[in-house]
Chains A and B, each alone.
Chain A
């Protein structure tokens, strides 16, 4: 298995509170991603990073921010959580270009916003 961990694995929080999810990799991949998965939807990209301090938005980035201060860590922050952000969040790593478009996913974080 790819060396990706996520923390916490489960979290229940209240509307309006800040939440930070952490993704940690031991594979030294340059690219890291945050997705959310909701019933009836495929995984949707929130933000991604292509290096330390280099990040960009995905298709559902509103209400989320990210930071990457070290190659191995990619943080996702919900500044003020809303019930619509209740979801399962997956971090992923992967190569870009060449033969490698595959992504490897972390175990996920189940977030419930009450």
Chain B
């Protein structure tokens, strides 16, 4: 079983739609959680950290459920520019950080 699991997708949604991704993790001792965004053939970039109380950044909302060991990312009012792969990242640096394989999102006109 992978330490961090994501649905690979692809999720194909129309512009303006709301889409949600989940990610499950196996290490219950993990304290740090992130969503990264990776465009095709580019490097991952931090989208947002995920806090215990949940957090929102514009159209993006991240939630953490420790009891069920998953984190979620909700994107509202999807834009074409949101098309990317979203990586779930769990754990601590320097050597306990684990990356999911990513969920691919395509937003269509």
Q: Assess whether B101 is in contact with A31, with CB atoms less than 8 Å apart.
A: no
Which residues of the other chain, B, contact A31 by a CB distance below 8 angstroms? 93-94
Q: Assess whether A101 is in contact with B43, with CB atoms less than 8 Å apart.
A: no
Q: Assess whether B95 is in contact with A48, with CB atoms less than 8 Å apart.
A: yes
Residues of chain A from 91 to 113 with CB closer than 8 A to chain B in the complex:
94-96, 101-108
Which residue from A35, A42, A95, A103 sits with its C-beta under 8 Å from B100? A42
Distance in angstroms from B24 CB to nearest chain A CB is 13
Q: Contacts A40-B101, A42-B100 hold; do A101 and B93 have CB atoms under 8 A apart?
A: yes
Describe B's contact surface by its main secondary structure.
loop
For A76-90 the 0/1 string (1 means CB < 8 A from B) is 000000000000001
**Number of A interface residues, CB 8 Å?**
26
With the chains together, A43 CA to B87 CA distance in Å? Answer: 9
Distance in angstroms from A106 CB to nearest chain B CB is 6
**Which residues of B are in contact with A by a Cβ distance under 8 Å?**
2, 4, 8, 32, 34, 41-46, 49, 87, 92-95, 97-102
**Which residues of A are in contact with B by a Cβ distance under 8 Å?**
31, 33, 35, 40-45, 48, 50, 56, 58-59, 90, 94-96, 101-108
